[in-house]
Structure 1
Amino acid sequence: MTQTTASPQNQQQSQAWLRGLLAIAWADGDFDKRERQAIAEITHNNPELAQQDSCENGISPGELAAALGDDANVAENFLRTAVMVAIADGIYTVGEDKLLQAFCEALGNCPDALSNLRHTLEDLEEGQDRVTLPSPEMGKSRSEKGKPKGDVLAPVRQWLDHVEVQDPKVARFLCRMIPANCPFERDIKLFGRKIVRIPAMCEINPLYEQLVGLRFRALSYLADKCGEDVSPYF
Structure 2
Amino acid sequence: MVSTSTTPYSNVQMATWLRGLLTIAWADGDFTTEEQTLITELVKEMGFQETDTVLFKAIHPEELVEGLGKDKATAENFLRTAVLVAIADGLYSPSESTILHDFCEALGIKIQALEALEHTLCDPESQILEQAHPHPDLLHPMKDWLDGMAIHDPRLARFICKLVPPQCPFERDVTLFGHKLVHIPPLCKLNPLYEQLVGLRFRALSYLADDCKEDISDYI
**TM-score scaled by structure 2?**
0.81
Classify the secondary structure of the residue corresponding to 1:153. Answer: helix
Name the structure 1 match of 2:17.
17
Alpha-carbon distance between aligned partners in 2 of 1:68 and 1:219, rounded to the nearest angstrom? 24
Alignment of 1:76-87 (within 5 A): 76-87=76-87
Name the structure 2 match of 1:221.
207
Counterparts in 2 of 1:58 and 1:167: CA distance versus 1, 3 Å: farther
Alpha-carbon distance between aligned partners in 1 of 2:155 and 2:21, rounded to the nearest angstrom? 11
Alignment of 1:59-74 (within 5 A): 59-74=59-74
Could you tell me how far 1:23 is from its partner in structure 2?
1.5
Alpha-carbon distance between aligned partners in 2 of 1:131 and 1:233, rounded to the nearest angstrom? 33
Name the Cα RMSD after superposition. Answer: 3.1
Name the structure 1 match of 2:52.
50
Could you tell me how far 1:80 is from its partner in structure 2?
0.4
Name the structure 2 match of 1:143.
none
Counterparts in 2 of 1:49 and 1:19: CA distance versus 1, 3 Å: farther
Alpha-carbon distance between aligned partners in 2 of 1:116 and 1:189, rounded to the nearest angstrom? 40
Could you tell me how far 1:194 is from its partner in structure 2?
7.0
Segments of structure 2 that go 5 or more residues without pairing to the other structure are: none
Name the structure 1 match of 2:115.
115
Classify the secondary structure of the residue corresponding to 1:92. Answer: coil
Alpha-carbon distance between aligned partners in 1 of 2:148 and 2:89, rounded to the nearest angstrom? 20
Could you tell me how far 1:81 is from its partner in structure 2?
0.8
Name the structure 1 match of 2:139.
153
Classify the secondary structure of the residue corresponding to 1:27. Answer: coil
1:211 and 2:213 correspond: no
Segments of structure 1 that go 5 or more residues without pairing to the other structure are: 141-149
Alpha-carbon distance between aligned partners in 1 of 2:128 and 2:184, rounded to the nearest angstrom? 21
Alpha-carbon distance between aligned partners in 1 of 2:35 and 2:194, rounded to the nearest angstrom? 17
Could you tell me how far 1:188 is from its partner in structure 2?
5.9
Alpha-carbon distance between aligned partners in 2 of 1:42 and 1:114, rounded to the nearest angstrom? 26
Counterparts in 2 of 1:213 and 1:35: CA distance versus 1, 3 Å: farther
Q: In the comparison of the two structures, how many residue pairs are matched?
A: 214
Could you tell me how far 1:217 is from its partner in structure 2?
1.4
Alpha-carbon distance between aligned partners in 1 of 2:50 and 2:66, rounded to the nearest angstrom? 18
Match 1:199 to one of 180, 185, 199? 185
Alpha-carbon distance between aligned partners in 2 of 1:100 and 1:130, rounded to the nearest angstrom? 22
Could you tell me how far 1:120 is from its partner in structure 2?
2.2
Which amino acid is 2:216 matched to? V
**Which string of whole-angstrom CA distances, capped at 9 and with x for unpartnered residues, describes residues 188-233 of structure 1?**
6799997864321011111110000111112222222223222222
Classify the secondary structure of the residue corresponding to 2:149. Answer: coil
Which amino acid is 2:38 matched to? A
Name the structure 2 match of 1:75.
75
Which amino acid is 2:213 matched to? G
